[in-house]
Amino acid sequence: MDINLEQLKKLFDMAGIEIDLLNVTSDDITKALIAVERKLLSFSSAESLTLPAEFNILIIDDMELSIYQFNQLLKKVGIVPTVARTKAEALAELKKKKYDYIVIDLFLPDADDGIELIDECIKLRDAKRTNKIIVMSGTDDKDLIERCYKRGIDEFVPKSSNWHDQILKYITSSLTSKQHENFFKYSINNDICCYTINKFNGQKHIDMLLKDVTTSLYTGQVNIIFNMENVKIFDDEYTNIFTTLYKMCNEKGGTFMLVKISESVREALSDAFLDTLIPTFSSVDAAVSKISQEL
């Protein structure tokens, strides 16, 4: 990427970094880009969704930009990972506690380091293989990839432009059908996720629901359906959740829909002028059919 002195000055000014512009390295530019992205993300409402992690995840990578980008994506769905940048740091972390998911950059800085780490992780894995090992790399060496699988890894992800999303999708695949106290989630297909809502009961449960929907959106299910048939009484102080969900789906190019709403929900939507924005249906099948027609 070609960048002139004027552009460099603007970049480092935005990042708040003082530097000799005539001796800038690629690492300096990376640090500046990260600093600017952090400032932009500080204005993002999605950051408010950061919640305690559901999983213990260890990321082993020596590329700061990759670490930062993946870290930010995981935080948006409520996962706070542990990071190791070298083989030694990774081995130290692995001795401290069990990790549900271990994401290894194969080249640290060479493939031998990655292979050794895979072997160490395999040794520490429990008999039921509940802790998963994911390897990422930009290599297209089929023999090397096969070596990783033969050693017992669970997934190999090519380090392409969307590798972060691919790993997140793999990690959250176990959540495609799960029961919570206040809702049940299930996938209809790769694009549509349906939530049967049992009740809205306090901000804690609203936050949990928003976190789960965020996970669905970031794994490609951009069309969200809320089945409200079990919600007979709705407190209108929580109407803002519908506004938030409508915006979240819309930003991802999807749709937010409601099914079988009660009169109290209908009134709340009308009072907030959301009844013309959020479509409602008499059944999940009708909502799915509408989405399918628009695809």
Instruction: Determine the Cα–Cα distance for residues 91 and 195; give it in Å rounded to an integer.
Output: 40
Tens digit of each residue's pLDDT (9 = 90 or more) over 196-251: 898 777 787 788 888 888 888 887 889 999 999 888 888 888 888 999 999 999 99
pLDDT band at 282 (very low <50, low <70, confident <90, very high): very high
Is a pLDDT exceeding 70 seen at residue 289?
Answer: yes
User: What CATH fold (topology level) applies to the domain 44-172?
Assistant: Rossmann fold (3.40.50)
pLDDT band at 255 (very low <50, low <70, confident <90, very high): very high
- Whether the predicted model's global pTM rises above the 0.85 cut: no
Reduced to 3 states, what is the DSSP secondary structure of residue 210? helix
The structural architecture, per CATH, of the domain 177-294 is 2-Layer Sandwich (3.30)
Nearest in space to 230 (alpha carbons), one of 183, 188, 284, 288:
183
If one compares 295 and 269, the residue with the highest pLDDT of the two is 269
Query: Would you kindly state where each structural domain of the chain is located, as residue ranges?
Result: 44-172, 177-294
Is a pLDDT exceeding 60 seen at residue 39?
Answer: no
Per-residue model confidence (pLDDT) at position 3: 62
Contacts of 103 (CB under 8 A, 6+ apart): 57, 58, 59, 60, 61, 70, 81, 134, 135, 136, 167
Question: How long is the chain?
Answer: 295
Helix extents (H) in the chain: 5-15, 26-41, 64-76, 87-96, 111-124, 142-151, 163-171, 203-218, 240-251, 263-271, 284-294
- Average pLDDT of the chain to the nearest whole number: 81
Instruction: Determine the Cα–Cα distance for residues 124 and 130; give it in Å rounded to an integer.
Output: 11
DSSP state letters, 216-260 = HHHTT--EEEEE-TT--S--GGGTHHHHHHHHHHHHTT--EEEES
Tens digit of each residue's pLDDT (9 = 90 or more) over 166-202: 787 777 665 444 446 678 888 888 889 999 898 777 7
Reduced to 3 states, what is the DSSP secondary structure of residue 95? helix
Tens digit of each residue's pLDDT (9 = 90 or more) over 92-104: 998 888 888 899 9
- According to DSSP, the residues that pair with 257 across neighbouring strands are 225
DSSP state of 182: S
